[in-house]
Amino acid sequence: MQYTGKGNNTEPRPALTYINPHSHAYYMGAAITTSHLTKDFRHVTAVDTINLTIPEGELFGLIGPNGAGKTTLIKLLTGQLQPDGGRASVAGVDPATDPVQVRAQVGIIPEQETPPSFLTAEEYLQFVCRIRGIPADTTPDISKKWLNFFDCIDERHVLCKDLSRGTRQKLMVSQAFLHQPPVAFIDEPLINLDPLMQRKLKTYLKDFVNNNGTLVLSTHVLEIAQEICTTFGILQNGQLRHHGTLEGLDNSLSDTFMELIDTPKDTGEA
Amino acid sequence: MELLKQMLKEEWRLHTALFGTFLFIAFPPILAGIALIFSLLLPFLSQYIPASTMALFVHYVFVLFGLSVGSFALSGREALHRRFGQASLLAYISRSLPISVRTIIATFFVKDLLYYTGLWIVPAIAGYFLASLVMGYSSLMTVVLFISIPLSFLTGISLIFLLSTIYTRSHATFYLLLTAAIIALTVSPYTISQLLTYLPAYQFFLTPTIAPVAISLAFAALGVITSIYGMPLTFDARPQEEENQLLPLAGTLRHQYAVIMSKDILDLRRSSGGMAKIIFSYAFPLAIVGILLNLFISFFPELNFFLIFAIFLGVIGTAVYNWLTQYDTTATYAFLPIHIADIVRRKVHTYAILNTISLPILVGAVIVTGQFALFGIGLVTTLSLNAYTMAVTVYLTGLQPHILLYNGKVFLAYMVALAPLLIGCILLSVFIPLALYATTLLLLPAIFLLRRAMVKWEQRVTI
């Protein structure tokens, strides 16, 4: 599918106002930087001295095989894990020293988590709004806007435990963007969505980036990364084996990926 | 037969995973040891309490044991999910394998009976048997206990299967029966203590004849057959819909995090059992305390029924905190901008609100006992113990009491913090009731522990 550009989609979608100049998110230069970021788990170095810079307005594809360290890296960047070495800055905040502030600034679609079982779809979005400090009187409008965006307004009163996987995923995507963050970390956002919704979400993500938002997309699906990402990072065994644009590759992303993960890591390009 | 074998294996693995292999394997010998010591002390204890009363007590312990085993079998799925993530049991496989629900229920019942008889009832009776060799008790009594104790357990487990089937089929019938039972108890010319002695298993213990055994078995058959044929065979696939109550509930509390309290209330209300879980958390243990006090108070007239009830009411409140964390995980908040201490703080607030139920219970107790002069002491004791118990629980277990209280070290610390205090309070209630006002001093360690808990869990749990 080709991106048709901003404004071609006539369906209503949530407003895109990403950078609040009075917030911590207003910073010069890169949206995300890491310097020698490292995380060890007993006998495994899950993230190995990663140096990375992601400028504002980029859709960065984080790809790699299972266990490569993608989820650990995202957890480090969002303050869900403390690093063992190095440092990072996300939206102008150090996630190691101020994890709550960094999570206030960014949106996160986690790898596995689903909405709480005993809240309804609408209640869950309102719950997230309030935790994020969005005023109570605007919360119902925001939740309705997102339920409408994903065509699941009719299911707003259904408890999350009884929603389909697809609808639960729609809620997880909605909760990551409802506070209009400048940066978002999204782990397999298209999973369980039907083709129509996948297309709609991809369009939204591109709009998000076009409006100067920054996205880190973790995925196994190389075709999706190739279709929507502007830059890539290929992780293997916790090391960043490649970082660059699609245009900078000699071969297709798929061939480059296969080559890199077949190559012993000490000879790989970092 | 294969299903039964696999269910037995599964039960073993479940328990070793819950408690740790060593602790679980050690439990039967410990149980035998406790039974041995208790049996050796029988001649001494019988100077104060008639042997028949002690026997009645033991039989009801096993009835309660049956009730608890049965209730976990029927409603433990959500608890398992919280403890083991996506874990499931063979009992829930009928949707994916060609095994009928009826076969599963029948096999499950037999499995529970065999498993718990083998692992817990046999060691307890073995303890008595060893004591009988030392003390020269009648060996016939061991044989009698070997029949009457499993019958008590069978009665408990059958009763819960029967009641849960009735509840599943018709809530109205269940509540009607409950009301009828309460009315029957109220108008009955017999006291509760007298009625308790009609337990067939206990009757068999007193007079080993075939009739009580037949009655027990008939009751068990009623429970099992009702469950097998009464439980719905299809699962209700309709999604559960609810009106939006999150913001209205939080609305009265303007704080940003009031929605956490709303969520806690909604979790409790909408999960299986509804708010009845909270009432049951109080009613069941308090009924046991009431029955035990009823049994023993005639032998220990110094015991003050109302004050001891107030003490236990204070300690039991901790179960409410357990429920509040049962349906929540830190993963829910992992990607949101909130401190763990803020979550714990809201749980404590919700706990305080839910625990207001202690007040009407205490008022009921003072009306029943007529000890109005002691109401002030009772109230202070209940509230102080309530706060202290909750603070200890929060400090030791954070947001995971349902997991960490299974940890041997944590449980030991919990017992050290509470058991001596409980005993001390009971002794004070007997000898210097007015001194129970001093329990207000517990508010100081409670506040200290709560403050420490916020720091501790903020540092230990990264979300």
- Reply yes or no on whether the pLDDT at B429 is more than 50: yes
Q: Identify all chain A residues contacting B327, using CB atoms and an 8 Å cutoff.
A: 116-118
What distance in Å separates residue A183's CA from the closest CA in chain B? 13
User: Does the structure show a pLDDT above 60 at B124?
Assistant: yes
- Closest residue in B to A108 (Cα–Cα): B335
pLDDT in tens, B345-395: 999 999 998 888 889 989 988 988 888 999 999 999 999 999 999 999 999
Mutate which of A39, A75, A101, A127 to test chain B, going by most B C-beta atoms within 10 A? A127
Per-residue CA distances from B317 to A65, B27, B190, B278 (Å)? 49, 27, 32, 10
φ, ψ at B275 (rounded to 5°): -70, -15
User: pLDDT per residue over B233-247, tens digit each?
Assistant: 555 567 888 899 998
Q: How confident is the model at residue B70 (pLDDT cuts 50, 70, 90)?
A: low
Q: Could you tell me if B290 and B303 are in contact, meaning their C-beta atoms sit under 8 angstroms apart?
A: no
Q: Which of A79, A101, A159 sits opposite B240 (nearest CB)?
A: A159
Question: pLDDT value at position A5?
Answer: 31
Q: B273: distance to nearest CA of chain A, Å? A: 13
Q: How far is Cα B80 from Cα B204, in angstroms, rounded to an integer?
A: 37
Which of B270, B328, B463 is nearest residue A80 as measured by Cβ atoms? B463
Q: Which of A226, A236, A228 is nearest to A258 (CA)?
A: A236
How far lies A63's CA from each of A203, A209, B106, in Å?
A: 20, 19, 50
Average pLDDT of chain B to the nearest whole number = 83
Q: Give the pLDDT score at B307.
A: 92
pLDDT > 80? residue B432: yes
Contacts of B82 in chain A (CB under 8 A): none
Contact A131 B338 (CB under 8 A): yes
Number of helices (H) and strands (E) in chain B: give both, helices first: 23, 0
**Residues of chain B numbered 423-442 and touching chain A (CB < 8 Å):** none
* B220 vs B339: CA distance, rounded Å: 51
- CA torsion B249→B255→B256→B257, rounded to 10°? -70
Residues of B in contact with A78 (CB under 8 A): 335
B405 vs B75, B77, B397, B398, CA distance in Å?
Answer: 19, 18, 7, 11
- What SS3 state is found at A175? helix
Contacts of B252 (CB under 8 A, 6+ apart): B258
Say how many CB pairs under 8 Å bridge A and B: 105
A159 contacts A118 by C-beta, under 8 angstroms: yes
Report helix, strand or coil for B44: helix
Say whether residue B323 is in contact with chain A using an 8 A CB cutoff.
Answer: no
ipTM attached to this prediction:
0.82
Q: Which residues of B touch A130 (CB under 8 A)?
A: 247, 250, 256-259
The larger pLDDT score, comparing residue B253 to residue A155, is at: A155
d(CA B2, CA B90): 12
The reported pTM is 0.77
> Between B239, B335, B339, which is nearest A159 by CB?
B239
Chain A CB contacts of B258 under 8 Å are: 130
Residue A163: list chain B partners with CB under 8 A. Answer: 239
Taking only the tens place, the pLDDT of each residue in B188-220 is 888 777 888 889 999 999 999 999 999 999 999
Q: Which chain A positions have a beta carbon within 8 Å of B270's beta carbon?
A: 118, 159
Bigger pLDDT: A117 vs A267: A117
At A9, the pLDDT band (50, 70, 90 cuts) reads very low
Q: Inter-chain contact A117–B271, Cβ cutoff 8 Å?
A: yes
Question: At residue B88, does pLDDT exceed 90?
Answer: no
CA dist., res. A17 & res. A26, Å (int): 13
> Contact at 8 Å (CB) between A201 and A171?
no
Residue of A nearest to B267 (CA): A118
d(CA A135, CA A131): 10
